[in-house]
Amino acid sequence: MNDSANAAIETGLAAWTRGDLDALERVLDPQVTLKAVEPGPWDCANRQEVMALLRLRESQRPPDEPREVKVTRRDDSTFLVSGLGGADGTATVVTVADGRVIALQQVSAEPRDPGADAAVAALRAGDLAALTRALDARSSLARDRLPGYGGRTLLHVVADWPGYSPRGPQVVRLLIERGADPNVRGDDDERGESPLHWAASSDDVDVAQALLEGGADLELPGGSIGTPLDNAIGYGCWHVAELLAQRGARIEKLWHAAALGRLDLLEALLADAPERDAVSQAFWHACAASQRRAAERLLEAGADIDWTPDYAEGTPLDVAGDRATRQQNVIDWLEGLGASSARPPAAESR
């Protein structure tokens, strides 16, 4: 990498530490990726997704929060940015090539804890006996944020992407019986998402049900989109969205009512004469959720049939054909097991 490219990268990263995301965007490759410490729905596959996530995080940062950020060059192709862009104890490895940032990988800067690692391994294996032994040996593991896991508690781990942890509902019940707080946030007490936010983002309805039975707050704000219902609808997690609605989650937004097919609430909210963008947003979510009657009513109310949000890709027609989160999860699971299809590959478009 030449001196001018070096200078551009360093300038962009320094601007990021000050909150100047426009300067950072100029040094990102169009196909740059961002990966969290643990895989999740916030992983990004291109520059547009990366910038949308970083702008969301910047908007959630308290204005008086100090920026204790350090940028360190590791070698000719990587930098380490610490103190920014993730949970406490998380740093970001920045990989560059040809004068552009091509990858952002969050890593844990915390030391690992053998007891926590044993509990996580038991949890991920669905081994309730081994998990019980780990909790018996150190009861605080049920409550504490785990060293080396980016602010996660064991409840976060069981609810984490892609969901469907073995014996997940039983693990949730065991942890809550042992003192786990179902409303604990990742990162710290003021920021971060609760385990219910995470279950709502993977459509793991059984874990979500167990969390609600254990006292999870279904109106807790501060998720990557907002409340657990915001997350569920925003990530196309229709089973958890319906569960939350049945349990009494507030449906006060037009796009909530549209995605849930609640025509009665839709009419009440339309009576307030919302702006056309709000009607179009609700139409987009109705199409994403396959709620045709809601979509028809919103189109009648003036929705733009080709409206596209700034927080996602695709028109209403595009998202109507997308796979829902739970459907994609099962497909990924089958493919991971080596399952094959009897159908011929789809013909490539000319």
Q: Which residue has the higher pLDDT, 190 or 160?
A: 160
Confidence tier at 344 by pLDDT (50, 70, 90) = confident
8 Å CB contact between 186 and 87: yes
- The reply to whether domains 110-225 and 251-350 share a CATH topology is yes
The confidence score (pLDDT) of residue 115 equals: 95
* Strands 28-35 vs 100-108: parallel, antiparallel or unpaired: parallel
Please identify which residue in the block is written with the tokens 């990366």.
50
The string of pLDDT tens digits covering residues 45-56 is 999 999 988 887
Whether 62 has a pLDDT exceeding 80, the answer reads no
Task: Show me where the domains of the chain are located.
Answer: 3-108, 110-225, 251-350
96 DSSP β-pair partners: 101
Type of residue found at 69 = V
Confidence tier at 191 by pLDDT (50, 70, 90) = low
The confidence score (pLDDT) of residue 57 equals: 75
8 Å CB contact between 95 and 101: yes
Whether 314 has a pLDDT exceeding 60, the answer reads yes
Tell me if the bond preceding 344 is cis, omega within 30° of 0. no
8 Å CB contact between 29 and 9: no
Quote the mean pLDDT of the chain. 89
8 Å CB contact between 207 and 199: yes
Q: What is the CATH number of domain 251-350?
A: 1.25.40.20
8 Å CB contact between 241 and 210: no
Q: Which residue has the higher pLDDT, 74 or 308?
A: 308
8 Å CB contact between 98 and 113: no
Please, what is the end-to-end C-alpha distance for the chain in angstroms? Answer: 38
The string of pLDDT tens digits covering residues 144-175 is 999 878 788 999 999 998 899 999 999 999 99
Type of residue found at 64 = D
Does domain 110-225 bear CATH number 1.25.40.20?
Answer: yes
Which CATH architecture does the domain made up of 3-108 adopt?
A: Roll (3.10)
Q: In what order do the strands lie in the sheet with 90-97?
A: 28-35, 100-108, 90-97, 78-82, 70-75
The confidence score (pLDDT) of residue 188 equals: 56
